[in-house]
Amino acid sequence: MPARNHLKPDPKKLQITLKTESNADIRERILILLLLNDGKTQQEIAEFIGCSQNKVCYWCVHGDPDDLESLRDKRMSGNHQKATDKYIDILLETIEKSPEEFGYEFGRWTTQRLAKYLEEKTGIQLSRSQVRRILQRKKYAYFWTKYSLEAKKNAKKREAFKEKIEAYIKIEKESPERLQVWFWDESGFSLRVIRRKDWCKKEKRKRVRGDRRKGRVNVMGCMRHSDKKRFVDFLDTSNSNNFYKVLKSFYEEVINEWV
């Protein structure tokens, strides 16, 4: 162990650095050397600072009072990187778009995929956990998305269809004996439901394509606009033949009601 007052020519440089250094770890290591210079034993220094004796022993051996850089470890040498404002802007812009827009085959962003893409884009390498923390600070959460087929809809045709339906409903109200308006739809219960999670802004869910895998029970049904009467039928397989059978059964029931 170095003797008392072993620092040459004097410890003033370390004392000044102790007051001005912003890094708490560096200040602790400087204090270890100063206490050692005052003649304290490693055990006494460890008890005074509140750390292990092995830590005190390490920095007594490897810490050079004349070279303050020796008090820095590898984590301080710049091997870790921080997200810049530009990095965060690109991340938030990317998370709002589908990976398919960037040429990827997968359909959902994960933090690992985001970290890899942003590394290629910005040159900054962050871990998946760092990316997750950034998104959480920006009020994003990873939860279930909502299925939607909005991308497949034609706005012009949809508007024209609405106008036609309104005209039919008007005729039905004026002359119910001439026309009946039924609303028909089909739904299915998947035997293997695919639930998808994605990064979304809190209190706002993304809409994703609602494609499902094969293997489900299909239900067809309709409701009459005037009195809300319902007609429902089940199908093992959804195809044109089964659809024709259900439609024919529905037509026969309507004819019998009229008769």
pLDDT digits (tens, 9 = 90+) for 46-86: 888 888 888 888 888 887 777 777 777 765 555 456 788 89
Q: Are residues 170 and 249 in the same domain?
A: yes
Q: Are residues 20 and 111 in the same domain?
A: no
Phi, psi of 218 (to 5 degrees): -100, 145
For residue 1, tell me if it sits in a domain: no
For the ranges 33-37, 49-53, 205-209, the lowest mean pLDDT is seen at 205-209
Q: Which long-range contacts (CB under 8 A, 24 or more apart) does 213-217 make?
A: 215/190, 215/191, 216/188, 216/189, 216/190, 216/191, 217/188, 217/189, 217/191
On whether the CB atoms of residues 197 and 146 are closer than 8 A, the answer is: no
Q: Are residues 68 and 99 in the same domain?
A: no
Q: Are residues 159 and 195 in the same domain?
A: yes
pLDDT tens digit sequence for 81-113: 678 889 999 999 999 888 888 888 887 888 999
In the listed set 22, 52, 76, which residue is the last one of a domain according to the structure? Answer: 76
What is the tally of structural domains in the chain? 3
